[in-house]
Amino acid sequence: MSDRFHKRLWRNAVSFSRSQEPHASIHAVEGLRECPTCGLFQHVPRLKPGHLAECLRCGCQLARRRRTSLIGAPAAFCITSAALYVTLLISSLMTLNVYGRENTVSLMSGPIELGHQGYGAIGVLVALVTILMPGVIIGLMAAILFGASRPQMPDWTPRLLTWYDRLRGWSMVEVYVLGVLVAYTKLVDLALVILQPGVYLLGGLMLSMAAVDSTFDAERIWRSRDIRPQLDDHQGHLLDVAHLDARNGVIPPVENMLSCHACNLVMAFDHTVPQEQDMGDCPRCGQILRRRKPQSLASATCLLVASVVFYLPANLLPVMTYTKVGHGAPSTIISGVIELWQAGMIPLSLLVLFASITVPVLKIVALTIMIISTRLGGRWQLRHLAKLYRLVVIIGRWSMIDVFMISILVAVVHFGFLANVTADPGMVCFALVVILTIFAAELFDPRGMWDAAGLNGAVAGPAADTREPETPSPSDPVPHLPSSDPTDMEPGRA
């Protein structure tokens, strides 16, 4: 935010120096797409409904055409999500009966109780990702669909769509549902547990929000957005934006092109584009144009080291203490998995083991290998590392299951001397590991691995157009893909 603020000050300060000389020109390139994982520029065919385009080199999904209507289907599920969300806020989740004494909790009970126990920061985190963010995401989607349905799309619609993409992963309703399930299995052996309507509303909200994402076609909304005729390069110059269709065979040099990280518009300049320099605002969505994420390697390394520091205490220190009639013992993450296994809940114990122990280790090891590969400029298993990076981004937030479970238990098992659950410092360390690794994965730019290996020097042929994602067969070293004619497509590709 401060970066954009200072650039606006600079733009206003130098605006008086703009002359009436002919403007330099850049090109908005149609028919090309840069892979966000490996950085390969390649031709993307016009997709039919139900088809998707995959990167020829690493298999990353580049574009997808939905079968559903642009506005109707996602709007219906968005309205459903809004109704479920509002009802959930005023509903109870579950009631615990211990020797005739009852305690009923809602979605807000866990964060409030964590604050009372001295863990206010974790309470705010839980409330942010389970209460605030789902509402923000639903509101953003409603506004985006409203703007996209207008004859002339308002200027605020692209900004909201960009924020939706940034914040969607921080809405963790589906992870919280699993946290409720784990908490329920721990409580059924202790007392009588009565599930309230909020649990079913929570499950419905999870499904409806997933349906919104599966029917929403951001690509079609971006294509319906007009491209501004001029671009401000933040250095006192206005650049005329011309249009270039790569499908006609005219392809600028790769080193002169970059892709907008928000709307995927490919821009071609008349000079070599620096890796991390601010090249102005995107003429379609208004986001800052950069070829690569700034300070990606250093930022990811610092966050990864910090997560490693907190990982050992997160597993060695107790995360919660359960006392019954004055007697109890602290519990670690590993001991919680063992308890579920001994109780005969083997599938659930394996789920918690995977989400709370395997996933953090996988993220730390995977990011370490990627950072080392980037620094050394090696070509070892780059396809597999690209797939691993996408997996790390997808599964990173599922480790919050334990944090959500503890927030539920401390709220519902609150009977003083009779039965009580309190949070312990291990929970704070574990939450920090999860958040730090999420940020490390977001700040790391996987395209840097391919840049360091010297493999991003050409434009590839048409991306694969398939009905379902296909996994490319890995082979090493990665070949240097030559430029090809976009009309020369292989059989079976659109």
Under the banding of pLDDT at 50, 70 and 90, the label for residue 482 is very low
* pLDDT tens figures, 131-165: 999 999 999 999 999 999 998 889 899 999 999 99
Considering only 52-66, 180-194, 237-251, which range has the smallest mean pLDDT? 237-251
Considering only 203-207, 242-246, 288-292, which range has the smallest mean pLDDT? 242-246
Q: What is the pTM of this model?
A: 0.84
User: Which residue has better confidence, 50 or 428?
Assistant: 428
Contact 400, 175 (CB under 8 A): yes
Instruction: Work out whether strand 25-30 and strand 238-245 pair parallel, antiparallel, or are unpaired.
Output: parallel
Integer Cα distance of 81 and 209 in angstroms: 6
Q: Is residue 116 scored above 60 in pLDDT? A: yes
96-117 average pLDDT score = 90
Give me the chain's average pLDDT, please: 84
Contact 474, 384 (CB under 8 A): yes
In eight-state DSSP terms, residue 284 is T
| Interacting residues of 66 by C-beta distance below 8 A, sequence separation 6+ | 49, 50, 215, 216, 217, 220
**Own/partner long-range contacts of 1-8 (Cβ < 8 Å, ≥24 apart):** 3/288, 4/288, 7/234, 7/278, 7/288
pLDDT at 165: 94
Contact 481, 460 (CB under 8 A): yes
- Locate 217 and state its tokens: 């076609």
Under the banding of pLDDT at 50, 70 and 90, the label for residue 488 is very low
pLDDT at 236: 66
* pLDDT tens figures, 384-414: 999 999 999 998 898 899 899 999 999 998 8
Q: Is residue 434 scored above 80 in pLDDT? A: yes
314-319 average pLDDT score = 90
* pLDDT tens figures, 10-30: 444 444 344 344 445 788 898
Query: Tokens 């985190």 sit at which residue?
Result: 125
